[in-house]
Structure formats: C-alpha cells, structure tokens
Amino acid sequence: MKKVSRRNWLKTSAGVAASAAALSLPSILNASPLRESSSSGKKSKKRKALIIGAHPDDPETIAGGTMILLLKAGWDVVCVYLTRGEAGIKGKSGKEAAEIREKECKAACKVTGARYRFMSQVDGATVINKEKYDEMLSVIKEEKPELVITHWPIDTHRDHRVCSILVYDAWRYSGYSFNLFYAEAMSGNQSMKFLPTDYVDITSVAEKKHEACLCHESQDMPDLLKDWHIPMEKFRGMEYWCEYAEAFVHLTGHTAPSFVEMK
C-alpha cells in the first residue's frame, strides 16, 4: 500500500477539487459560449441550455437569474414548459387558463430573452409512460443542450416530480450527453431535503429575474416573490456570501447506460 504523506494528500485533494470545480455551474457560466467544431477546431455554434419546468412560471422562479446570466454570457437558452398551466387559474376552464398562461410565458421570455417551447402534458394531470418518456427524449435530442436545469425530484408537487423523472430518464438514455442540474422550488414547502452542490450569484440580475416572474400575473406572483422566492434567494445568498443566489444540485454520470432500450 502506497504511503500517503500530508503533501501528497494535499496535492490529491487539490486535484479532486479542481476537477469538481471544472464541472460547477459557475465555471460553466464562465466558459466560452461557442462550441468548437469537431472537424476544424474553430468555434462556431452557440452553447445551449434548457430550463425545463412543469408549469409556465417554473423556469423563471427556479432558475431565472441563472438563465439571464447564461444569456448574457452568449448562450442560447430555451424555457421548456411541460404544461400550459391549465389548472392554474381558479374559475377559468383549462383552455382559458392555458391561453392566459401561454401569453404570460411569452411575456416573461421577452424580458429574459430566452426562447420558449411547450410540451404536451396537462397541468394537474401529468403522467409518466412510454409516450411521455419518448417525448422528453425527443425534445432533448432535437435541442442538443449542453446544460439542463429542472426540478428537484423530491417535491410535494406531483407535476414537479413527473417533470424531474422524465428529464432524468432522458439524461440516462441520451448517454449523459448534457450537464444535469436540479433546482429548488419554494424549499420547505415544495422541494424537500435539498442540499446544494452549486450556487450562482444572481445579485446583478435579481431585479430582472423578478420582472420576468411578475409577468405571470395570474399566479399572485407579488406575494409569492415576497413570501417565498426572494427570501430563498437571500438565504442562498447568505450561504454563498452574496446578496442573492440560486442553488442547484449537480448530478453526474460516468458511463453510458448498458441496459436495453425499452420497446
């Protein structure tokens, strides 16, 4: 057995730390926004991130600051909405609510500069089956993101859990082709047992994030910001030694899945 001196241990620890840091969300934010062409070695295509949320306001509330920072860094960012929020407005039919909330999504994306994309599930009635697994994987393969942020899977909201599991499955079946990060939604009320691995200082863009969130007028957003989202950003900011922060859990994969694709 090789003897490990204090100096060697420190070198090894530093190497591990450097390796971990290279995969952190802050380091991804600081990376070049352009991909290198495999053929010429020249930088050409923009890097892409997907923020995948169960409901129309989820991408903005769980990762709106990070989304804006990615856009400022030159990334292509897509807000993917699993549903159109059909069950989200009291006294409105599913169709009426969907129309209202789709407009709110578009307004929020206009503020942030992100592109939007809607999937086929229905708010309050989301399901996990082969068809929906295939749909999520299809979106991932079509968009070819390098980074995906979605819901933490241990959540009191069923739609959040469904969204998280569908994304996780696509990550597995795509051969871990993108960096997967989980975000929190109203921790303590919805996301549970959330222990961050990564923090992003959003102080410089917090006001713009809140402006995008407020586009979701049907959701009592001023109260949600005041009672939940802003206190959570400030709490994570205290942990990260800044004014406002968003926190994430980075899931890492090592090898492509060896099991047989489901038929």
- Calpha distance 206→211 (Å, rounded): 9
- Calpha distance 219→209 (Å, rounded): 16
Span 58-107, pLDDT tens digits = 999 999 999 999 999 999 999 999 999 999 999 999 999 999 999 999 99
| Percent of the chain residues past pLDDT 70, beyond the cut | 84
Residue 36: pLDDT above 90?
A: no
SS3 string of the chain? CCCCCHHHHHHHHHHHHHHHHHCCHHHHHCCCCEEECCCCCCEEEECEEEEEECCCCHHHHHHHHHHHHHHHCCCEEEEEECCCCCCCCCCCCHHHHHHHHHHHHHHHHHHHCCEEEECCCCCCCCCCCHHHHHHHHHHHHHHCCCEEEEECCCECCHHHHHHHHHHHHHHHHCCCCCEEEEECCCCCCCECCCCCCEEEECHHHHHHHHHHHCCCHHHCHHHHHHHHHHHHHHHHHHHHCCCCEEEEEEECCCCCCCCCCCC
Q: Which domains does the chain have, with CATH numbers?
A: 43-251 (3.40.50.10320)
Q: Tokens standing for 45?
A: 């295509």
Query: Where residue 22 falls among pLDDT bands split at 50, 70, 90?
Result: very low
Provide the mean pLDDT of the chain.
88
Span 202-226, pLDDT tens digits = 999 999 999 999 999 999 999 999 9
Largest CA distance in the chain: 71
Classify residue 175 as exposed, middle or buried by CB count within 10 Å of its CB (0-12, 13-18, 19+): exposed
